[in-house]
Homo-oligomer: A and B are copies of this chain.
């Protein structure tokens, strides 16, 4: 079977589900009595258990980061370009753990799961989560593997927020913290886009106050709009222009009765929105965007990010992309400034890229690849 896959692919992978019975007290004050986390791992945990890397996913991500579930899958996991034997997150060296976060809709306990108290899907009654709740649940997962310290915690965007929070919540359990295209807190504009996306979902006629599963409806139109907003903001203006320009589907403007979809970008966006709305849960989308909005690294450290990072013991790699306007390089420079002020060990690179915020996922970017490779190769795992 491995013959079917490229040499640098992790090949076929099978997710595992871990059940947790110990109650998890959440930042919002509520408690999850029990929950499941669905997980994939790539590579082998070494006997000293010092080579484990945690991958934290972004807004719409999940546990399936690399490899294939079936030999005939058309697409591999979402970060397959950077995970595998000989790749930057080298599975010949590292044992990589990738999970679907709590509140997700790909197998971990979330709004579509059955609430044991009511026997019905949680729906809108699933608790709001903060980034720290994910970090705490990931720490328990770590214990299941018997891992005492991650060689690295790695994440882009919302995943980078988790990596930073790890460095503050469990300083002695993280050796390296890799923060890609992220921020210590969202700007007002970012919150505004998220708010508009949530409104689109919540005002969908089929949303039913979040209990759409009980009503056997799905707020697909609203979720589709939300995804379209997201998608525009994850690409750069120039990148979008290069990809689509003002190309017309038909070659010329319709005359007489007008055809409403005329530009390539329109049909592309509609397709993206509709596709996403069939495969993602609307309440999870709301929950994930709220976690983004609420994240504020320094809030409980007197709004002093340097004071926050003085808790950290890990080393840091921070990466931003020039055309990313949703998590602009300026946001990464703020992280760097705080880390330097806190006298932490940090490497920063701003990568030239036309791909906007999505750049952290885009394959074949040489400098990004080289940088990640070089940094990850230097990490000691035989300590």
Contact = CB atoms under 8 A, between A and B. Distances in A.
Interface of A: 28-30, 128, 185-189, 191-193, 195-196, 199-200, 203-205, 221-222, 224-225, 228-229, 232, 235, 237, 240-241, 243-246, 253, 255-256, 258, 262-263, 265-266, 269-270, 273, 290, 293-294, 296, 325, 328
A256 B196 contact: no
A229 B196 contact: yes
Nearest to A230: B196
In the complex, the 5 A-B pairs of residues with the closest C-beta atoms, listed nearest first: A205-B205, A203-B221, A188-B240, A196-B228, A189-B237
Given A28-B258, A29-B255, A192-B265, A199 B225 contact: yes
Main secondary structure of the interface of A (DSSP, over half): helix
Contact of A225 (B30, B203, B290): B203
A127 to B, nearest CB: 8
Given A188-B243, A189-B237, A253 B294 contact: yes
A250 B122 CA distance: 27
A188 B262 CA distance: 12
Contact of A265 (B195, B199, B237, B270): B195
Contacts of A325: 237, 325
Given A191-B246, A193-B232, A258-B290, 15 more contacts: A28-B256, A185-B246, A187-B240, A189-B232, A189-B237, A189-B241, A192-B232, A195-B270, A199-B273, A203-B225, A204-B205, A225-B225, A229-B229, A237-B328, A262-B293
Given A28-B258, A200-B200, A200-B225, A192 B253 contact: no
A326 B301 CA distance: 37
B224 A269 contact: no
Nearest to A265: B188
Interface centre among A28, A192, A232, A266 (most CB of B within 10 A): A192
A193 B229 CA distance: 7
Given A246-B185, A269-B192, A228 B256 contact: no
A46 to B, nearest CB: 41
B192 A255 contact: no
Nearest to A130: B253
A224 B246 contact: no
A293 B266 CA distance: 11
Contacts of A187: 237, 240-241
Contacts of A224: 199, 203
Given A192-B265, A246-B191, A199 B253 contact: no
Contacts of A240: 187-189, 192
A229 B229 CA distance: 8
A199 B265 CA distance: 13
Contacts of A265: 188, 191-192, 195
A383 to B, nearest CB: 39
